[in-house]
Each structure stands twice: as C-alpha cells, then as structure tokens.
Structure 1
Amino acid sequence: MSAPLILGALWVIAAALTAMLPMRRQTVPGLALLLAAPVLLAWIARTHGWPWLALGLLAFLPMFRNPLLHFMRRALGRPAPVPKGPEK
C-alpha cells in the first residue's frame, strides 16, 4: 500500500476520533483536518488517479459539509449564522 493511502486511512481515523470529542474541543483538530484534506486528496489523485480522488471526495465532503457551507457563504458575502450548540 502506498503512503498517500495510508495517510488517508489515518486521516479518516483522526476524523472519527475528532467527531467523538465534545463540540467545544472539535474546532482545532477539525480545522487541521479540513486544511490537510485538499493536500492529501491531491496527493492521492496524483499517485493513483481520479477515481481515488472521487472516492476521497465522497468521504470528505459529507463530513465537512457544514463548515464548508459556512466558509462559502462568508466568501460570497452572504450571512453565515453559527449553529447553536446542544441545550444543557
């Protein structure tokens, strides 16, 4: 197995562990995963081709749809309300 696919599998494990953290502690590791994903996906695509990129995007986009929509709305100048946390 190649290095990009091993790092991709580790990225998935790190994302799952981050999702298990309390919401207030997910920000820093979540942003690190969000920034690392395009680099990792590009490396996978360059090494193995576009079908592996498509599979990686199918895994990445649903996990980060809310942060990506938030950043896209802010970039377009539209209101981007922050979702409320769970009630205590």
Structure 2
Amino acid sequence: MTISLTLACIWVVAAAIVAFLPMQMQYVPGLTLLILAVPLLVFIGIQHSFWVVLLALAGLVSMFRRPLWFLGRHLWGRLREGGT
C-alpha cells in the first residue's frame, strides 16, 4: 500500500475516534481533520488516479456530511445577504 493510502487509512481511524467524543469536544479535531483532508486528497491524486481521489472524496463527504451541510447553508446564507 502506498504512503498516501496509508495516511488516508490513519485519517479515517482518527475521524472515527473523533466521532466518539462528545459534541463540544469534536469541533477542533474535526476541523483539523477537515483541513488536513485537502492536502491528503491532493497527495492521493499525485500517487494514484483521479478515480481514487473521487472514491476518497466520497468517503470524506460521507463522514462529514452534517458539518459540510451546515457549512454550505452558512455560506449560502452569507452569499444571499451580500447580494441584496
């Protein structure tokens, strides 16, 4: 297994551990994992193909669907406020 996929597996285990924390304690490690996901996806893309990145991105969205939904609604609201 390549280093990028090994790091991705470690990232998944870390995300599962963070999910066991109480909600108030999930913010900082969850945001850190979300930020670290971007360079990890790029690294996977460099070592593998676009299709592997799409699979990893699907896993990321699956694990962070609620925070990403909240972030999307927040950004959409800010865009709508700025337009009027």
Q: Same fold (TM over 0.5)?
A: yes
CA separation in 1, counterparts of 2:71 and 2:24?
A: 19
Structure 1 or 2: larger helix share?
Answer: 2
- Partner SS state of residue 77, structure 2: coil
Task: Say yes or no: does 1:67 pair with 2:67.
Answer: yes
Q: Deviations over 1:61-88 (max 9, x none)?
A: 011111111111222226xxxxxxxxxx
Tell me how many residue pairs correspond in the alignment. Answer: 78
1:85 aligns with: none
CA separation in 2, counterparts of 1:36 and 1:5?
A: 14
- Partner SS state of residue 26, structure 1: helix
Q: Out of 29-38 and 66-75, give the one that drifted further.
A: 66-75
CA separation in 2, counterparts of 1:24 and 1:36?
A: 20
2:18 aligns with: 18
- Partner SS state of residue 18, structure 1: helix
- Runs of 4+ deviating beyond 3 Å: none
1:29 aligns with: 29
Shift of 1:45: 1.2
For structure 2, the residue ranges without an aligned partner over 5 or more in a row are 79-84
Q: Could you tell me the percent identity over the aligned residues?
A: 44
Please give the TM-score of this superposition, normalised by the length of structure 2.
Answer: 0.84
Please give the TM-score of this superposition, normalised by the length of structure 1.
Answer: 0.80
CA separation in 1, counterparts of 2:29 and 2:13?
A: 12
For structure 1, the residue ranges without an aligned partner over 5 or more in a row are 79-88
